[in-house]
Amino acid sequence: GQNIDQPTEMTATEGAIVQINCTYQTSGFNGLFWYQQHAGEAPTFLSYNVLDGLEEKGRFSSFLSRSKGYSYLLLKELQMKDSASYLCAVRDNQSYQKVTFGIGTKLQVIP
């Protein structure tokens, strides 16, 4: 099975940089996703890492270390609209369709 840990809440200031960490223990690993979920809305895809290293996409970057079972999502130049929950999710290598989600980190961006 999969066990995913991430902080439940974080607060950061508009314009700043914030790093949201995710650690996982897994019986089989085939990639890690980050999703964003605004309150009352559906999760939307942000990033995917399957190899070690950093993937950059505009203001958002995601990092993966498979040997450490660790990932982080980095958000730069924070905007008020970035206030949302950020879900770390791990894909199983036994069942490609099975993705296990963490509890999510609720990020509040303050002025």
Q: How far is the CB of 100 from other proteins (least distance, A)?
A: 7
Residues within window 30-69 making contact with other proteins, judged by CB under 8 A: 31, 33, 37, 41-45, 48
Q: Would you count residue 96 as binding other proteins (CB under 8 A)? A: yes
Q: Is 100 in the site for other proteins (CB under 8 A)?
A: yes
Asked if 6 is part of the footprint of other proteins (rule: CB under 8 A), the reply reads: no
- Give pairs for 82-86: CB < 8 Å, separation 24+: 82/107, 82/109, 83/38, 83/107, 83/108, 83/109, 84/36, 84/37, 84/38, 84/39, 85/36, 85/37, 85/38, 85/39, 86/6, 86/20, 86/34, 86/35, 86/36, 86/37, 86/46
104 is an interface residue for other proteins by CB under 8 A: yes
Nearest to other proteins of 13, 95 (CB atom)? 95
CA–CA distance, 102 with 111 (Å, rounded to integer): 28
Our CB check for other proteins shows the closer of 56 and 77 to be 56
Contact residues for other proteins (CB under 8 A)?
31, 33, 37, 41-45, 48, 85, 87, 95-101, 103-104, 106
